Amino acid sequence: MNYQTVLEEIKEEIRPYLNKGTVANYIPALANVAEDDFAMSIIEIDGSEHHIGSYKKPFSIQSISKVFTFTLALDIYGKDLYKRVGHEPSGNPFNSLIQLEYEKGIPRNPFINAGAIVTTDSLVSKYKENTFSTLLEFIKKVSNDENIAFNKEIFKSELESGYRNFALINMMKSFNNIENHTQEVIETYFKQCSIMMNTKQLTKSMLYLANHGVIPNTNSEIITQAQAKRINAVMLTCGHYDASGDFAFHVGLPGKSGVGGGIVAVVPQKMAICVYSPRLNKHGNSLVGTKALELFTTKTRLSIF
Amino acid sequence: MNYQTVLEEIKEEIRPYLNKGTVANYIPALANVAEDDFAMSIIEIDGSEHHIGSYKKPFSIQSISKVFTFTLALDIYGKDLYKRVGHEPSGNPFNSLIQLEYEKGIPRNPFINAGAIVTTDSLVSKYKENTFSTLLEFIKKVSNDENIAFNKEIFKSELESGYRNFALINMMKSFNNIENHTQEVIETYFKQCSIMMNTKQLTKSMLYLANHGVIPNTNSEIITQAQAKRINAVMLTCGHYDASGDFAFHVGLPGKSGVGGGIVAVVPQKMAICVYSPRLNKHGNSLVGTKALELFTTKTRLSIF
Amino acid sequence: MNYQTVLEEIKEEIRPYLNKGTVANYIPALANVAEDDFAMSIIEIDGSEHHIGSYKKPFSIQSISKVFTFTLALDIYGKDLYKRVGHEPSGNPFNSLIQLEYEKGIPRNPFINAGAIVTTDSLVSKYKENTFSTLLEFIKKVSNDENIAFNKEIFKSELESGYRNFALINMMKSFNNIENHTQEVIETYFKQCSIMMNTKQLTKSMLYLANHGVIPNTNSEIITQAQAKRINAVMLTCGHYDASGDFAFHVGLPGKSGVGGGIVAVVPQKMAICVYSPRLNKHGNSLVGTKALELFTTKTRLSIF
Amino acid sequence: MNYQTVLEEIKEEIRPYLNKGTVANYIPALANVAEDDFAMSIIEIDGSEHHIGSYKKPFSIQSISKVFTFTLALDIYGKDLYKRVGHEPSGNPFNSLIQLEYEKGIPRNPFINAGAIVTTDSLVSKYKENTFSTLLEFIKKVSNDENIAFNKEIFKSELESGYRNFALINMMKSFNNIENHTQEVIETYFKQCSIMMNTKQLTKSMLYLANHGVIPNTNSEIITQAQAKRINAVMLTCGHYDASGDFAFHVGLPGKSGVGGGIVAVVPQKMAICVYSPRLNKHGNSLVGTKALELFTTKTRLSIF
């Protein structure tokens, strides 16, 4: 199948949706983007690349960073990680604090904020003050691109307005599920959210998940095959917050979205995909990104179902 | 791959687990089974069958019936069904009532009890007093087997002790999300849970979900390809209650369990599987059944991830 | 103090509020009242009576009946009653089902619906098919008036539309906190809610709570002094649902409201009061009734605080 | 009535309970007390004092400080205060976070932690860096005693381990119900909890609530009569967390407890009472203190019911 043609068709078909939805504006730094921007990249395991739109323009990856920290923590701790963070969907967002209380500070999965904060805390326990640099090195390695950094302005804004995340980390600390200083963990967490990448880099960075844990062109094993499958499973069931079921239902691929407008997706044993468009639907996921991926699996029949 | 050999290996390997877990005993009629029983069936789209254990012995299908009512309701109402029942995972069981209250009587998905009751209510609105017979005819058709009936003793016991389900239906009725008389709907619901089938029949009955909505040997289209994919997606994200994430994580296939000890699973475009063993793990799913399916995808690499 | 003058002043001062609020209309039978009606009665322990407005016109007492069933059950079971129903405020109404789930089917207090249903169930365990007639006899005795009955039309309407109460009783039954058939209990419960009384009768019926458990003019001991105080305490902390704190705050007397528009209140060791006006505020309590009682304690300085 | 004799009787009768319950030990500084200590003071509006036990020994007043901040905030803001904090009971502690989430960051009353933190925040908005000194001056004034200070060790320990309170304040800040820097507010809050007073000082400090808002011996009006009644009403309905109903039920007086082992109570228009004993019951209130107050109202018939 000619994926470049598919990308071009998708670009046409999503056009009527480009002015729908709303860019995240809880911090000014995030709102400051070209609202109708669009980019999409496909990279196959064999190395073939297909891109469309502004695929070289970096954006804030936000929660997509949770895939990287989950990978690193799973590599370090193996199944022990699940003592501190589960792998079940979380139900609606209203319940996040209730469940944290009810389940004694153990977040449901590593892709909700509480779970990602615990995951980052587990990295801080291992890498101390080098945690963020280690994470950044890892991302550069799986992206095969040295040119990746975080945005200081976004980081500072997040830190200044992240009261709800401070509430979450303090609640988990009260249940002894945070091992390090809350300030240190939360700063690392907001730094990882502020990393800037483009769709090409993000797509490349997901190939190890499409390829049983191994970076295809370098044959470098990042995690085991079993672990790669499990990360995919958690992306499918938990990757889109309260719309995870909807994403599985309409797109049918493991994926992870970020409030910056990016979505990554994995076609196991075939390819990785990334789409970017900053306006969000009511669930906080890229509206056009979700639509583009739905069109992609409809056209290519690559849904895993 | 020789699936019969795989089944034989699995039978050996699950042996140490056969005396673990507990048979459902909330009603005596369900507890009255051979506790260490085991059966497993695989039927490929091309018609090849592979069975092991007591695969001709019928058991109470319980919640597996929800797959059939979801299919029928989706066929009748299409997307309108989602106005009355969602397709998102529900989080932990504790939250089911909270969410029903918070979300104004709309259950999260058709595989939790509240959602299955709404689904059955939608069938009663269409088929009136013929609802159960219509459902049974449908099951006979997809199973290609006339010899299927419900167990009156189990039905009566369920009806007499199903206070929590009565609570759910009355709550939804108070939100106007039940259209028919509560007694009529709940009786139909408990009847469908009391249907007796063996692993061979259940496996055959799932083939349309593995085959894009079409029964392979008859070419009868049950639902559209898109609908079949969506049912699979909902089975993956919501099919095992509070252990849905865990099942996706360890097994990696769309599946649906019943408290009677059965689990069905679908390998899209390849085959359907059913396993039976009545002892349950702490999540209320067949302990050996879950283990057997995990062994199956490990051995065959048929996980969708 | 001349209480008749106080009543006349109050009648003048509440006039601007008489067309505010909304009559309960969840069943037609309740909505069918004179919307701007007003009545208020005061009876002192020494027998002095003071009335104003339509004090001889009966209305549906609704939840005020819970004071009578609580009294009867406390007399029969003493402290054992608290194993089945607590005496703590319940927080907001949203939580009623959550708390019932979290606290294993034990309602927080006898004045929320769940708690009143358990209380009625405890009476059915004792009085069987004579429960309602026993209750009615009790009410006639404490009111010193034979002319009291329930309204069949209201009863039937309640029964036909009381889905949420059916949900509550079934949930409690699933936790084994209902001993009798749900239908029998719920019918008794709705009958007691449908009892018709006027402000004169209701005021008289509350005198034993103002007089340490003893009916003043007959010296008949209904309950012990300690029990009377405790019923007053529960009325103060729990008598007005989600506005109990507000009522204590503004009125400062033990009281119990009904959705039919009545409110009873007790001035310990001095008098009982009843006010009626059918339009309700947003908490489901008589708007003018609440205002009238606030004026009463402001004018008379009879607040217990 | 001879209150000194009553105190002596109580001291005898609570003796068997002195070794029951557990001293608060979430911070070492609090656990470091004489576990079987007991003190009780009564001061009448006319100035008569009655004391027993270690009534000159200061202890950590903890949540009793919330009465003082509520008084000050009510005096400054009047009814506007209720836009930021309610006056309804909160139900069980599990619900505090649910309710904060559900009710958009508005705590239910000023006596749960979240509500007291908002109250303190409202004082910081007015008094800035002088908030704590203003509060301390107020307490010295109502106690008529200059010799009152906070315990730095307890303050530091609270600050270092108060993760749950940090969670609460951050959650409320995310709903814009905290106006000042979270660190500044929380430090003031923990300082007020660390104030040390003895039963004599605390009893004196409550007399304005027994005397319609006026300090009896100085005739200094602290708040209006209506406000004093309302603080008493909130103490009665909300003063003992999840055991507020129970306290109203058994003691029948407005009261406020602290985890340090103190309980204050008010007999309107008659007297104030304070009892101290550091071992707590399962609700976190002084076990012997609660028992002593129950004995007091039984013996003196001073329950407001």
Complex ipTM value: 0.92
- Per-residue confidence (pLDDT) for residue A29, from 0 to 100: 85
Nearest to C171 among B94, B164, B182 (CB): B164
* C60-74 pLDDT tens trace: 999 999 999 999 999
- Per-residue confidence (pLDDT) for residue C82, from 0 to 100: 96
Q: Catalytic annotation on C163? A: no
Residues of A within 8 A of B90 (CB-CB) are: 89, 91
Selected for mutation to probe chain A from B242, B251, B305 (highest A CB count within 10 Å) is B305
Selected for mutation to probe chain D from A94, A99, A163 (highest D CB count within 10 Å) is A163
* C72-102 pLDDT tens trace: 999 999 999 999 999 998 876 655 677 788 7
Residues of C within 8 A of D304 (CB-CB) are: 268, 304-305
**Lowest mean pLDDT across B250-264, C277-291, D54-68, D237-251:** D237-251
**Lowest mean pLDDT across A29-33, B190-194, C138-142, D215-219:** A29-33
Average pLDDT over residues B154-177: 94
Q: How many other CB atoms are found less than 10 A from the CB of residue D261?
A: 30
D168 touches chain A (CB under 8 A): yes
Residues of A within 8 A of B245 (CB-CB) are: 86-89, 109, 233-234, 237-238
Banded pLDDT at A102 (limits 50, 70, 90) = confident
**Closest CA in chain C for residue B95:** C98
Q: Which residue has the tokens 């506790």?
A: B35
Q: Is the pLDDT at A92 greater than 70, yes or no?
A: no
* D204-247 pLDDT tens trace: 999 999 999 999 989 999 999 999 999 999 999 999 988 999 99
B230 touches chain A (CB under 8 A): yes
Q: If we measure between CA atoms, which residue out of B232, B110, B228, B248 comes closest to residue A235? A: B248
Task: Please judge whether C233 and D88 are an interchain contact, meaning their C-beta atoms are less than 8 angstroms apart.
Answer: no
Residue A300, φ and ψ in degrees, nearest 5: -100, -10
- Percentage, residues of chain B above pLDDT 70: 98
Residues of D within 8 A of A171 (CB-CB) are: 97, 163-164, 167
- Per-residue confidence (pLDDT) for residue B125, from 0 to 100: 98
The radius of gyration of chain B's CA atoms, rounded to the nearest angstrom, is: 18
Which pTM does this prediction carry? 0.92
- Per-residue confidence (pLDDT) for residue C25, from 0 to 100: 86
Architecture of domain B3-300: 3-Layer(aba) Sandwich (3.40)
Task: Please judge whether D88 and C244 are an interchain contact, meaning their C-beta atoms are less than 8 angstroms apart.
Answer: yes
Q: If we measure between CA atoms, which residue out of C255, B224, C99 comes closest to residue D237? A: C255
- Per-residue confidence (pLDDT) for residue B98, from 0 to 100: 72
Higher pLDDT, A160 or B92: A160
- Per-residue confidence (pLDDT) for residue A9, from 0 to 100: 98
D39-44 and D49-53: which strand pairing? antiparallel
Question: Which of D3, D17, D208, D241 does the annotation list as catalytic?
Answer: D241
CATH of domain A3-298: 3.40.710.10
Between CA C41 and CA C48 the distance in angstroms is 11
Banded pLDDT at D95 (limits 50, 70, 90) = low
Average pLDDT over residues B144-164: 95
Q: Name the average pLDDT for chain A.
A: 95
Average pLDDT over residues D4-13: 98
Residues of B within 8 A of A109 (CB-CB) are: 245
Task: Please judge whether A88 and B242 are an interchain contact, meaning their C-beta atoms are less than 8 angstroms apart.
Answer: yes
Looking at residue D240, its amino acid is: H
Q: If we measure between CA atoms, which residue out of A68, A92, A97, A119 comes closest to residue A245? A: A92
Q: Name the average pLDDT for chain B.
A: 95
Residues of A within 8 A of B228 (CB-CB) are: 305
Task: Please judge whether C170 and B173 are an interchain contact, meaning their C-beta atoms are less than 8 angstroms apart.
Answer: no
Banded pLDDT at D94 (limits 50, 70, 90) = low
Average pLDDT over residues D38-48: 97
- Percentage, residues of chain C above pLDDT 90: 89
Q: Name the average pLDDT for chain D.
A: 95
- Per-residue confidence (pLDDT) for residue A32, from 0 to 100: 87
Average pLDDT over residues D121-132: 98
Nearest to B99 among A89, A91, A238 (CB): A91
Task: Please judge whether B168 and C164 are an interchain contact, meaning their C-beta atoms are less than 8 angstroms apart.
Answer: no
The kind and range of the H/E element at D161 are: helix D152-161
**CB neighbour list of residue B139: distance below 8 Å, 6 or more residues apart:** B68, B148, B195, B197, B205
* B20-50 pLDDT tens trace: 999 998 888 888 899 999 999 999 999 999 9
B127 touches chain C (CB under 8 A): no
DSSP symbols for D7-46: HHHHHHHHGGGTT-SEE--SSHHHH-S-TT--EEEEEETT
Q: Name the average pLDDT for chain C.
A: 95
**Closest CA in chain A for residue B87:** A245
Q: Is B137 helix (H, G, I), strand (E, B) or coil?
A: helix
Q: How many other CB atoms are found less than 10 A from the CB of residue D108?
A: 26
Banded pLDDT at D115 (limits 50, 70, 90) = very high
Q: Which residues of A12-45 are buried (b: 16+ CB within 10 A; e: fewer)?
A: eebeebbeebebbeebebbeebeeebbbbbbbbb
- Percentage, residues of chain D above pLDDT 90: 89
DSSP class of D305? -
Banded pLDDT at C166 (limits 50, 70, 90) = very high
Q: Is the pLDDT at D133 greater than 80, yes or no?
A: yes
* B82-140 pLDDT tens trace: 999 999 888 766 556 777 887 889 999 999 999 999 999 999 999 999 999 999 999 99
- Per-residue confidence (pLDDT) for residue A68, from 0 to 100: 98
Distance from CA of D252 to the nearest CA of C (A): 7
C171 touches chain B (CB under 8 A): yes
Task: Please judge whether D252 and C234 are an interchain contact, meaning their C-beta atoms are less than 8 angstroms apart.
Answer: no
Cα C179 to the chain's mean position, in Å? 24
- How many residues does the structure list for chain B? 305
Tokens of B271: 């085959």
Nearest to B163 among C97, C102, C173 (CB): C173
Tokens of C212: 């340490």
**CB neighbour list of residue C160: distance below 8 Å, 6 or more residues apart:** none
SS (H, E, C) B218-253: CCEECCCHHHHHHHHHHHHHHCCHHHHHHHHHHCCC
Tokens of A152: 């200081």
Q: If we measure between CA atoms, which residue out of B32, B47, B41, B35 comes closest to residue B11? A: B41
Distance from CA of D174 to the nearest CA of A (A): 5
Q: Is B140 helix (H, G, I), strand (E, B) or coil?
A: helix
- Per-residue confidence (pLDDT) for residue B96, from 0 to 100: 65
C89 touches chain D (CB under 8 A): yes
Q: Considering all CA atoms of chain A, what is the largest pairwise distance in Å, rounded to the nearest integer? A: 54
A66 touches chain B (CB under 8 A): no
Task: Please judge whether C168 and B167 are an interchain contact, meaning their C-beta atoms are less than 8 angstroms apart.
Answer: yes
Banded pLDDT at D111 (limits 50, 70, 90) = very high
Distance from CA of A93 to the nearest CA of D (A): 11
* A235-285 pLDDT tens trace: 999 999 889 999 999 999 999 999 999 999 999 999 999 999 999 999 999
Distance from CA of D222 to the nearest CA of A (A): 36
Nearest to C174 among B101, B167, B170 (CB): B167
DSSP symbols for chain A: --HHHHHHHHHHHHGGGTT-SEE--SSHHHH-S-TT--EEEEEETTS-EEEEESTTS-EE-GGGHHHHHHHHHHHHHGGGGGGTS--S----TTHHHHHHHHTTT--S-TTSHHHHHHHHHHHHHHHGGGHHHHHHHHHHHHHT-S--EE-HHHHHHHHHH-HHHHHHHHHHHHTT---S-HHHHHHHHHHHHTEEE-HHHHHHHTHHHHTTTEETTTTEE-S-HHHHHHHHHHHHHHTTGGGHHHHHHHT-S-EEE-TTSEEEEEETTTEEEEEE--EE-TTSSBHHHHHHHHHHHHHH-----
Distance from CA of D170 to the nearest CA of A (A): 5
Measured N-to-C along each axis, helices D131-143 and D65-77 cross at an angle, to the nearest 10 degrees, of 110
- Per-residue confidence (pLDDT) for residue D27, from 0 to 100: 85
- Per-residue confidence (pLDDT) for residue A103, from 0 to 100: 83
Average pLDDT over residues D88-113: 81
Q: Is C282 helix (H, G, I), strand (E, B) or coil?
A: coil
* B208-223 pLDDT tens trace: 999 999 999 899 999 9
Banded pLDDT at A96 (limits 50, 70, 90) = low
Q: Is the pLDDT at D1 greater than 90, yes or no?
A: no
Question: Does residue A58 contact residue A198 with C-beta atoms inside 8 Å?
Answer: yes
* D137-150 pLDDT tens trace: 999 999 999 999 99
